[in-house]
Structure 1
């Protein structure tokens, strides 16, 4: 239990207050012994080095897990530096190297599994015989790390810190199943609490209209700005969580605390005139606070997929993503149910109080139980402890070593060009460059890569249609079927049913088709195979919307269940399609996955922001039937795009300078 709390925000505070006398790491204990090979290297003794490929092979075959997701070898660094300096690392050489890896994969069953790239690393070792056989026993096969950064004359410059052993408990991928499941559950609850806070406001819109004297479109801004806020936040929080010196936990902890703080004035500063209280705030103030709520709640949208990727292998990551996406998918739909009965009885601000009641305990749980999952951050902090222990600055974290290698390459290129070497880059400058790149890179890839352009546009459309339901339901079920606000909230349970159906379909595909195929072949299939369920599911949104158009228009002559079936079909198929896309993108663009997800969050939320505002006028002016038909016709973009992406995705990857060619 002490090890779990030590890695959390509360653990960091306890260590700071006690000056690291409590909750110590192994390197801070008196009985810690520095690995012998490191001690010999510090003393200037020669240490025989293993071949890099052999070392990776032994790490994989002995344990079936990666020894490190960020290990750096001396040979690869020197080769990278030489290539950068001479410009010999051309695109043609990269294609030849990829072709060579493919031929090796054909000869050796598990080669591709061991070399498959992921979003968390350049060449992350992800599999092996033991992993595919689900070995239950592990041995400490790596008592120390032998990686060194060397110059051509063999002089040691730095010791690159890695995991102490292949089953190092500090590595999130080596955590116990109970701990990983617990973190996944906490992530899902956090996501659900934030996403529910968006649409829980919809039942309060009539009260907002009465209290502030605004029309329906202005009242809907309370929902629209929240959605825009949690689409804008990832542009900042996502790159911050990728900086090794910051990590994921500080971003989560700080923003969640701010989320709770902002929820206080949002819930308490506005009275309800209908219940004898004067309004103590302004409408513009309410809207500003709703935007800030969404902005500070956005890390659950921005980086939670990355946190899951830190803990799960590629075989199991889709199952972890299912839990997180389910919470994000059902959260908005269940919001009107949670406030549908309380708001008519207690007043319109009651929904805002419920946000505070949900957020506060989740915030406390996160501060106490949520550990740091970023391998880059964990290894950087271990490096800092080793420096304090030994008094030597030769220890380098993988993130530092990569940066130094890049600077050395730039210096070598400058010398070859007869120019003075550039000055060292400060940590602040590196962080600033990461932030700028995170803002520009998603837009650049979207404009230059047709596959990503389709993903951004289509996901924005179906997400916007989903949020338009919150404006359409009050025009259908209360007016045509005579339902109360609470009963309309019960109708939203169809989205929960849709989520269950979607989870069952997607998990069956993974468990019964894809994963057995991977284990049988010993290598991962092309990313396009992840789109197979979406080939059929892509027809679902269009069919569901046309069912709504054909049945809701005849209400009350048709039963209320008829349009609800259309919504359920839409939700189930959208869940499957989005799950396929969310796995396809990081496999195809591992180096830019975090930036692309942040960009996708913004595109989806921006379109949803607009759809909330135009949804009600659309359905009022065109009618439910023609309005739903219009959106159904728009959703056919997904049918065409998904099929083209499946058949021509490999060609697009070969032409793209951003994608990985398998």
Structure 2
């Protein structure tokens, strides 16, 4: 529970305020034992060398290797232990396998899947990973690059900091919050529809203009991911900051929207609601991919999609009971009441799930502890080599390029857009058939149902 609170936004705030004295990470505690790979530099530069070491008969210890012939020594602080123990071949091979296992089925690795063979290999590795989880813990030997950088990795195959190794209860807490966050944002889109006849009467506008409250919200959460989704993939940022910052703004805007009594301002605020509520709609699936393996992802993505689909359908039902008995502002207040508890829950119970961000922060702590500037995470290296132009091309131009060049993707995009249009049009056409003054008049309450 303490680790969950430590990694949640409120825990990070407490750590910042106290200078890291509260909610410490293992590397910050006095009793932390630095893994040999990071403290003594008995690293292997390439996997082929490690494999060769495994096949070579006879144990190898640091004392039998001349220092000048061993360029892989990692400098450490004098306060660290200098004792070197022998490493037998079996444990060395196990460490190599552990390193490989730590890298499979992560989202960055899945992004490298290009061919069908790659995908089949990914599923094979996923099955292997599930088998490994039932076996004893294995140490993971950090890799050293040709320029002397030691790549900070998980310490063991069951490292508790790895989101995919979290307990089932911790994963359930995270996935439930993602589902509720998704529901709170999606439900806000159609929740305004029972208020539209009252908005028409209040401002003396047409039904077409009143329907813009729904249209602009949907447009906002369609545009928002173009900005916020790439932001969450930047290792130094991670998942939580875009979630928390935008949800904070979403809540503030929702309160203002609920009290505003000006039609143009109402429409602008509805667009901003959708825009700042959008990160979960694009990044929720990424969070799910962070904590579940490829074999489990489809089940949890189905649940996520169910909450996303149920949101707009439930919105008119909920506000349909309250608006006729109060006023048109009531439907907008209900968005606040639904989103506020979700915000509080995320603040206290949503840990960072991005492995790139977690390892980046671990590398910083290890550098501070050992004084070794060569300790870096792979995400740090990748991030340093990414330009703004590459981010723009990758996240804005590349999707358009794929749609234009791949007919299958283009067809799917057009089909999905058509389904979205039909789905949301139902909320606008129902009043013409079943609303007051229609051929089959019903109360707003029954109309929503």
**Which residue number corresponds to residue 475 of structure 1?**
432
For residue 9 of structure 1, what is the aligned residue in structure 2? 9
* Residues 461-493 of structure 1: per-residue CA shift (max 9 Å, x gap): 011100110112112223233321111122xxx
Q: Distance in 1 between matches of 2:31 and 2:98?
A: 28
Q: 1:177 to 1:246 in 2, by over 3 A?
A: same
**What are structure 2's unaligned runs of at least 5 residues?**
55-91
Q: 1:402 to 1:145 in 2, by over 3 A?
A: farther
After superposition, the C-alpha distances for 1:269-325 in whole angstroms (9 at most, x for unaligned) are 22xxxxxxxxxxx21111000000000000111100011011111111000101110
Match of 2:138 among 141, 144, 164: 141
2-structure distance, mates of 1:288, 1:206: 19
Q: Give 1:138 shift.
A: 3.8
Q: Residue 157 of structure 1 aligns to a residue in which SS?
A: coil
Distance 1:467 1:329 in 2: 11
* Aligned CA distance change for structure 1 residues 33 and 431 (closer, same or farther; 3 Å): farther
Mapped contact 1:63–1:138 kept (Cα < 8 A): no
Q: Secondary structure in 2 aligned to 1:481? A: coil
What do residues 184-229 of structure 1 show as CA deviations (whole Å, max 9, x unaligned)? 1110001001100010000000111111111000000011000000
* Aligned equivalent of 1:355, options 326, 332, 335: 335
Does residue 387 in structure 1 map to residue 378 in structure 2?
Answer: no
TM-score where L is the length of structure 2: 0.83
Q: CA deviation at 1:126?
A: 2.5
The alignment partner of 2:439 has SS state of: helix
| Correspondence 1:487 to 2:431 | no
Q: 2:158 aligns with which of 167, 181, 190?
A: 167
Partner of 2:231: 240
Question: Are residues 1:371 and 2:342 paired?
Answer: no
Match of 1:28 in 2: 28
Q: Which residue of 2 aligns with 1:566?
A: none
- Is the CA contact 2:253–2:269 (under 8 Å) kept in the aligned structure 1? yes
**Structure 1 residues 294-443: aligned runs within 5 Å:** 294-402=274-382, 430-431=387-388, 433-443=390-400
Preserved CA contact (<8 Å) 1:59 1:67: no
1:116 alignment partner, one of 117, 122, 129: 122
User: Aligned pair count?
Assistant: 405
- 1:324 & 1:237 partners in 2: Cα distance? 19
Alignment of 1:455 with 2:435, yes or no, is: no
Structure 1 residue 49: Cα displacement: 5.8
Note closer, same or farther for the CA distance 1:38–1:435 as it changes in structure 2 (3 Å cut). Answer: same
The 2-side partners of 1:302 and 1:233 are apart by 9
Aligned-residue CA RMSD (Å): 2.9
| TM-score, reference length from structure 1 | 0.57
Q: Aligned-pair distance for 1:435?
A: 3.7
- Would the aligned equivalents of 2:150 and 2:376 in 1 still touch at CA under 8 Å? yes
Corresponding residue for 1:250?
241
Q: 1:46 to 1:260 in 2, by over 3 A?
A: closer
Partner of 2:253: 262
Is residue 37–residue 43 contact of structure 2 (8 Å, CA) maintained in 1? Answer: no
Q: Which residue of 2 aligns with 1:177?
A: 168
